Structure 1
Amino acid sequence: MNTFRRNRRLRRTEKLRQLTRESVVHVEDFIYPMFVQENLHGKEEIAAMPGQYHYGLDEFRRTVVDIAELGIPGILLFGLPSEKDEQSSGAYAERGIVQEAIRVAKAEAPDLVVMTDVCLCQYNPAGHCGLVRGSEIVNDESLKLIAATALSHAVAGADVVAPSDMMDGRVSAIRETLDEAGFANTAILSYAVKYASAFYGPFREAAHSTPQFGDRKTYQMDPANVREALREAADDEQEGADMLMVKPALSYLDVTRAVRNQTTLPVATYNVSAEYSMVKAAAMRGWIDERAMVMEILTSFKRAGADFVLTYHALDATRWLRAEGGGR
């Protein structure tokens, strides 16, 4: 009589491994973040993020068609304005860069899910996510501008607005503003759990949003905390969020699992800039198998409980999956 279990039986062939695989990555799991820049023609590669670009609206128009044809379900837009001011007025301008990009995306690929980052940091000289009063990033005064930004995106045609500022009460302010203006069907993907992370470094170059003083630790979360993450997620759900996000992804798999276990809402995770750039840098030096590593990382997000993933690897991963027939 056998005294041990032969677990290897189900690993013997690739087909058996596929049959018993618990977590599977599909093209439909991806949202592709994009940076659109005012007054730019064509595109410019972001030095700290090889293979990622600042897009002018002309090149963005062409690229968004390609994304839709690949079958990627959606994009997340970040805007880089040509001018900044203390009221972050470019964030909620009717003809702001994100608002114009939304219109372009909806004209070229109507079925593509257009998500928009809702924040003030790219639009004010201080590079902070809320209004600055002296050396303080003020909460309640910021909510009106954050809600106005979300509304301007909805008016332009966004399907989903995604507040990333981490001001207390912003989901409630956005939901109330959208509903009162007749945009009850515009969904909110809340950056519910956003840590004050060192993994954002390349993004701040990409978004031209490096803080000009201090840091973001008074509003983004301490990386040491998990119970706080559950409070933040529960608050945003109660305030009217339709989906919840954990950011960053790779070092916070435990947090994604904890949020997944707490809520029945869809949960996303954001595979952030440094997580992407570290893989790219190692691959460019021939130190790793990029394809194998990226797919393993993406699988870990699904295994942790993410329903979908915002990732700069989306284009590459989609092509790999399509090539092997794994895109559904």
Structure 2
Amino acid sequence: MIHGELIALGIAIDKKPEYKKAKAAQDRFDIIFKEILKEWTDKSERYIVGKNFSGDGHALQLVWKYGYILEVGVGHDYDKSCPDTDVLLQEILQKPLGQFVQSITVKVTDGGMRGYIDFESCLSKIVLQGRQPNLKKLVIGDCYPPEADLSWCSVGDCSGIFSLLPNLEYIKTRGRNVIFGKLKHQKLKKLLVESGGLSAEAVKSIAKADLPSLESLEVWFGSKEYGAQGSINMIKPLLQGKGYPKLKHLGLMNAEFQNEITQALVKAPIVKQLSSLDLSMGTMTDKGAQALVDNVDTFIHLDYIDVCDNFLSEQMSSRLRRVYSNKINISEQGDPDEDEDGDSYIYVSAGE
């Protein structure tokens, strides 16, 4: 009965939101919602904000329609005595209202105060729900400084989710210790892997993936100081275009081997099918950028090239602008730093 009333109220609100009856429907809608929340967990109401509910917390954010939750954002509120992030997520997914969830975003967990944020338990709760054909978007690690440094975040094992989410179209992970295993999915369209220290295992999984529908891929490799193990040899299968027949946007970013990546792309078959290329945030110098200047015919078909936040000289930046005009972003170039011995060094944008 409650679900039936929620659906009827939702339809009334959507059809004529400006009418007085719609306002009354919205008020009744909110009352029912609050009553349902109280069944989930003690003091749930304190932690929730959403499209149809007004609250003062941010641990749990919901977007819902016609009596069912469509989008879930779950995190931890350090200002309140809040349930653990994975507990909140499980409570949502196990309830009838959560059976049609289309999007899950996992933010900071309760470990942030200790400088270590682990998303493994949240991933486990998603896997425990079994097959979820409605879920299309998954974000693991939607937290940023000053709330959480990238190096604090540990993603965990994602290998079990792909077979259980057959209609997944978008996934983003942010942090280290990410495990993909054999990366294979028929409908995934966008994959973003942001890390300050991507392991060899993860790099190889991405390079050898079978993602026939993927249109956009961005990978942050990171710094060796924070565990990065990627190399140009590891990504050769990706550069050949294997497993990525529909890829249009490729980001190979935040790498300490950015020069090698740029040089390898000159003869990489995958470049022909791309419309945009992102080589930003890394340690590209004039040596690497020279490949873009010398091989214009290879890259000129691209609509957009991003080499910002690297270490290019003003002279090289000018040459790139002359060659690629407004197709290329060369902003925010850095200068090498010096250590205590006076030796210069360069570094990726996101490690810590």
Which structure's CA Rg is the greater one?
2
Which has the larger helix fraction?
1
TM-score in terms of structure 1 length: 0.32
Higher relative contact order (CA 8 A, sep 6+): 1
